[in-house]
Amino acid sequence: MSVDLSQFLQTFFEESFEGLDTMESGLLELDPERPDPETLNNVFRAAHSIKGGAGTFGLTAVSDFTHRMETLLDRLRDGQQAVTPDAVNVLLNAVDCLRSMLAAIQSDQALDADAISTAQRQLDEQLGQTPTGTASGASGPAGDTGGDRGSAGGGGDATPPSGGGGWWIRFEPQPHLFATGNDPRRLFLALQDLGELEVECDTSGLPPFEQLDPETCQLAWTLRLYADVTEAAVREVFEWVEDDARLEIRPLEAAGTEPAAAAEGGAAAAVAAEPAAGAEAAAPAGGEGRKSAARRGGAGGGGSSSSIRVDTEKIDALIDMVGELVITQSMLSQIGKEFTAERLEELQDGLAQLERNTRELQENVMRIRMVPISFAYSRLPRIVHDTSRALGKAVDFQMEGEQTELDKTVMEKIIDPLVHLVRNSVDHGIELPEERAAAGKPETGTITIEAYHKGGNIIIEIADDGRGINRDKLLGKARAAGLVEDGSELADEQIYDLIFHPGLSTHDQATEYSGRGVGMDVVKRNVRSLSGNIHVRSTHGQGTTITISLPLTLSILDGQLFRVGDQTYIIPLVSVIESLQVDASKVSRVTSRGEVYHWREGYVPIVRLHELFDTEPVRRELGGGLMVIVEDEDTYLGVFVDDLLDQQQVVIKSLEANYLQVPGIAGATILGDGTVALILDIAGLIEMSRGGRRQPYIPDREDSDEAA
């Protein structure tokens, strides 16, 4: 029987990465003084399933590595070994190492042998502290990817260590064992890690060949484990199959009188050797699976997982809704068949119901893409842990609103900025314990990240109770860099916004944790690219709060509709500051060409959209006309339009997919009557108004045939 395992490989990777996240957050939660047994159990279970999965797919290097972690975790769990910060760190490193191993295997790249052996050595050192010795001795060498260890069962000529203790085990699985995803061979391999193992297969339960169902387990086994381990350790191997099998474990001495079944020994060895051969066959299959998984990953683009885990509740809700939709549809078609004027009201009711169904269905389909922000949160405790440790700071990190949902694409793009901001808070915000004590604050600083919904947006706030931004120092630096003119006064908010300016750091020198990788300017750009906003509030000496506001989804936006000529356009509502009727007396000219409008103590340039877009307007006279003041990154623009229409949600469609990128146009949408309306790109519009390019962008490509 051969099963193509590769199809499950991707799931294995996904689950393993999730397991690693669980392990990491569990380890970070561990309080060395009062380790929570449940947390340790969780971490252990995650390691255990990765090990099991890796074994199934023949990823021996991974399963061996995980085995060591598991052994260490087990000892911590049993209290054989104290939970020390060192042990936790070693395990965290091991989690990192395992993550990169899995990532390397997934993308079909070579494993980093050095990193693995370092992590392994650290684990062994930890393990070496209690001299049981059996477990560390049992693991194979690093990078051993062969299936050779699969010969567990072939113990026909293995001589049991004389006089050693051990266990006699009778294992009679129920026929449905395989259906629960368990493989006896894995169990035996795990036992073999504990010590010398003899496996004897009892084939008496097998039906005649014609009646054989390869998916049921009709075998039973008698095993002898020559190892000085506790019964609990043996039981634990069978932990997952306890409910699916009859299990008997006795000390070997007591079992000595059991029928030896020596005559069957040969047959048993032969049967047991079969899984071993299977293991060798599974290894190349696993390799192939890796390749195809990597290909799939490549096609998906950029390694980020393209699948999504959806709460079954959401799917149930969708199914209910589709049910309702079908009922409405049949009701409408019924009316349609026998329509009379008297039934008009009925028809209208039906249509109203259809509209409601459609809207609900749309909302719920969108919800499928919504994932809780805890995914983005998961990396943060580690960042805080590592950074604060390296900088000698004490930080209490709190996460709130973990169940707040946002679009998967948005979430993937917000992770890096969040990581950066949190790291920044530790590095720049929180002071050293002695500084804090001197300032009369508790030695441990607090960083809080909170996510919540507000209107159609999701708000993420990162707050610390650190030293705050030194307003004057920042302003001084900005002046020195020529960003702010001497003598000009800025509002606090404007000053704090300066930290997003590239090349402006309040830190006097770059540390390991700042001044490299993404800077605050990149953070801001990322947030803007998601049509979001970012703001800083800070009180010197008391802390800084950074607030990010993001749209819930990237595919729908709230728009202000308006007309120029015979065309309808849409401005994203987030960019609209206000709409006003032009007061001719407030219009001035600069060098008789550029027009500006006196607005809120300042002047905004006026842009006539029909000029930028080279179309025929209905109205050319500014005075009494309508203008929309729009903003992008603190730049304001007055867009002169013919007529303002209503505001509505629009679905964003790509213009580039079948055409090209056009300056000033962010995309298109389809209006209620089926026609297409263009959505303006405010940043692009501002650039155009300053004489930027107008023609569509030709994608980067060698252009030679026009040369002739």
Q: Which residue ranges make up the site for other proteins (CB under 8 A)?
A: 567, 612-615, 653-655, 657-660, 662-665, 668, 670, 674-678, 694-699, 701, 703, 705-706, 708
474-505 burial string, b = 16+ CB within 10 Å, else e? Answer: bbebbeeeeebeeeeeeeeeebbbbbbbeebb
Q: Which is nearer to other proteins, 24 or 642 (CB)?
A: 642
Helix (H) or strand (E) holding 173: strand 167-173
Q: Which is nearer to other proteins, 677 or 682 (CB)?
A: 677
* Both structure tokens of 423: 């790291």
* Both structure tokens of 398: 């709190």
* CA–CA gap between residue 159 and residue 526 (Å, rounded): 65
Q: Which is nearer to other proteins, 634 or 706 (CB)?
A: 706
Q: Which is nearer to other proteins, 110 or 707 (CB)?
A: 707
Q: Which residues pair with 447 in a beta bridge?
A: 397, 464
Q: Is 578 helix (H, G, I), strand (E, B) or coil?
A: strand
Q: Which is nearer to other proteins, 350 or 667 (CB)?
A: 667
* CA–CA gap between residue 470 and residue 505 (Å, rounded): 11
- Min dist. Cβ of residue 613 to other proteins (A): 3
**Single-letter amino acid code for the residue at 657:** A
DSSP 8-state symbol, 185: H
- Min dist. Cβ of residue 678 to other proteins (A): 7
* CA–CA gap between residue 565 and residue 568 (Å, rounded): 8
| Contact residues for 86 (Cβ-Cβ < 8 A; gap 6+) | 126
12 contacts 53 by C-beta, under 8 angstroms: yes
Q: Which is nearer to other proteins, 309 or 701 (CB)?
A: 701
**Single-letter amino acid code for the residue at 416:** D
- Min dist. Cβ of residue 651 to other proteins (A): 9
- Min dist. Cβ of residue 314 to other proteins (A): 23
- Min dist. Cβ of residue 239 to other proteins (A): 52
448 contacts 400 by C-beta, under 8 angstroms: yes
| Contact residues for 618 (Cβ-Cβ < 8 A; gap 6+) | 563, 564, 565, 642, 643
* CA–CA gap between residue 242 and residue 244 (Å, rounded): 5
- Min dist. Cβ of residue 351 to other proteins (A): 21
- Min dist. Cβ of residue 270 to other proteins (A): 55
Beta strands in 375-532 (DSSP E): 395-400, 405-407, 445-454, 457-464
Q: Which is nearer to other proteins, 71 or 560 (CB)?
A: 560
Q: Which is nearer to other proteins, 403 or 658 (CB)?
A: 658
Question: Residue holding tokens 């650039």?
Answer: 687
* CA–CA gap between residue 315 and residue 318 (Å, rounded): 5
Q: Is 666 helix (H, G, I), strand (E, B) or coil?
A: strand
Q: Which is nearer to other proteins, 58 or 664 (CB)?
A: 664
- Min dist. Cβ of residue 575 to other proteins (A): 18
- Min dist. Cβ of residue 619 to other proteins (A): 18
